[in-house]
Amino acid sequence: MAHKETIREALFNRRMLICVFTGFTSGLPLYFVYTLIPAWLRSESVSLKEIGLFALIGLPYTWKFIWSPTMDRFVPPFLGRRRGWMLMTQICLLFSMAAMGFMNPAESIWTIAYLAAAVAFFSASQDIVLDAYRREILPDQELGLGNSIHVNAYRVAGLIPGSLALILADHMDWLWVYICVALFMFVGIIMTLTIKEPEGQINPPLTLKEAVVEPFKEFFSRLGQLRAFEILAFIFLYKLGDSMATALSTPFYIDLGFNLTEIGIVAKHAALWPAIIGGLLGGLLMVKIGINRALWLFGIVQIVTILGFAVLAEVGNNLIALAMVLALEYLGVGLGTAAFVAFIARSTNRNYTATQFALFTAIAALPRTLANSLTGYLVEGANAEENTFAYPLMQWVGFPVEGLGWTQFFLLCTACAIPGMLLLLRVAPWNNNDEFYAIADKKAA
């Protein structure tokens, strides 16, 4: 009975409510970059190859650990160490997102790229401090559930740029669409002004050198070099296949013949709600089966459901097939992400949350940025005339220069999801659920 009361208390407290708001304000700008901008560019007849290369604007998500020590070390002159950085990044996001609406893809593609990169930078910076804040207010027993709620709110935020904005785009100018989306950043600004700074025994770094060096030194000394590198490799590979499969999802739907309203209503909702159900279910199941077993079970589901995109590519323009495939795919995504984010959060030390969390999530975002930048070429192929220097190199390394097409591309994504699962044998053995965490806690104490 006591255990059930603990779960009930974890579900209904102020910390979980804060996780809802951190998730929403974190997810809004990321979906803005990875969903709304590609849909806008494709609707303006920008090629898939150029859209695929736009994934490179997400590099701040992979390099954010470089400037994260400054957010651990320096305290803004207002609101405190965490809230001050939150407010600054959120205001910058509000204005940079709204400014996108004044651009024309046919005339200012490079300006759009620079502005999108700025949005990604401010978004990544906001994520650094939001992740650190969440880790510092959540006790260890609430990490799985709290991060599941955060991720689900993150997905709900995707309705704004991924559904509402697309529907509005069929009825109004893109300028007003972007302004409307940007105004939703006030959700995060209001949250920042009403919450309190984290409490408890946290010893922030006293110098910039300590803020840069100690988080990495502590991580490798706590786990040992081999285990630490295995964990970093696992973080990189676990979501690789899933990330590649969804990188060009909106252009994929457009190529199948679905209009923007159908995508906004059917595709986005069929993906969102199963992902939310999967995330909540995953958070609750982790209380019973632990994080290790959750990573195994949810990862298998994730791999199998990627194949649904290959099926949809063969079926073509069919709304029922679209809804069914996406419902199954994102149920697996929700389950897998719940365990994955809990694993990342549990691997950090409270004294260095901003830098360590930024490092882990940056590595997790690396496939989405680098591998996904090639997805357009994998689908469409490379043209020898357009890629004079790169084309011979692509041929030499065995790159499919003729293009895989959508079906073969999704089969490749399925294969790319397997290496991360194999690493579970080392970093999260099925029958050894608590050893890693017990060792980590003992060394960190």
The residue ranges of DSSP E strands in 101-187, in sequence order, are none
Contacts of 142 (CB under 8 A, 6+ apart): 10, 15, 16
Handedness of CA 339, 188, 100, 159 (dihedral sign): positive
Are the beta carbons of 62 and 154 closer than 8 angstroms?
no
Are the beta carbons of 235 and 359 closer than 8 angstroms?
no
Are the beta carbons of 369 and 55 closer than 8 angstroms?
yes
Spatial separation of the C-alpha atoms in residues 19 and 73, rounded to whole Å: 24
Domains, the chain: 2-197+205-444 (1.20.1250.20)
Residue-wise over 187-216: b if at least 16 C-beta within 10 A, else e?
bbbebbeebeebeeeeeebeeeebbbebbb
Are the beta carbons of 341 and 238 closer than 8 angstroms?
no
Are the beta carbons of 302 and 271 closer than 8 angstroms?
no
User: What's residue 274's pLDDT?
Assistant: 79
Tracing tokens 């939150």 back to the chain, one arrives at 86
Residue 14: both structure tokens together: 């102020």
Question: Is the pTM here over 0.85, yes or no?
Answer: no
What CA–CA distances, in Å, run from 139 to 272, 292, 346, 358, 445?
Answer: 28, 19, 10, 19, 15
User: What's residue 222's pLDDT?
Assistant: 79
Are the beta carbons of 123 and 36 closer than 8 angstroms?
no
Residue 279: both structure tokens together: 């995330």
User: What's residue 75's pLDDT?
Assistant: 84
H helices present in 347-387, as ranges? 353-369, 375-380
Helical pair 174-183 and 81-99, crossing angle rounded to 10 deg: 170
User: pLDDT (tens digit, 0 to 9) for every residue of the chain, 445 residues total?
Assistant: 444 435 555 556 788 888 889 999 998 998 888 778 877 777 766 666 666 666 667 677 777 878 888 888 888 888 888 899 999 999 999 999 998 888 777 677 778 888 888 898 999 999 989 988 888 887 766 777 777 788 888 878 888 887 788 888 878 888 888 899 899 999 999 999 999 888 765 666 777 777 778 888 888 887 777 888 888 889 888 888 888 887 777 788 888 888 877 777 776 667 767 777 777 777 777 767 777 888 888 888 888 888 888 888 888 888 888 888 878 877 777 777 777 887 887 777 777 777 888 888 778 877 766 666 677 777 776 554 555 445 555 554 455 556 677 888 888 888 888 998 899 888 888 776 544 444 444 444 4
Nearest to 144 by CA among 331, 25, 279: 279
What CA–CA distances, in Å, run from 84 to 72, 130, 209, 212?
Answer: 12, 11, 22, 20
User: What's residue 444's pLDDT?
Assistant: 46
Spatial separation of the C-alpha atoms in residues 381 and 162, rounded to whole Å: 27
Q: Which helix (H) or strand (E) holds 2?
A: helix 2-11
Widest distance between CA atoms in the chain? 70
Residue 79: both structure tokens together: 């609101």
Are the beta carbons of 372 and 49 closer than 8 angstroms?
no
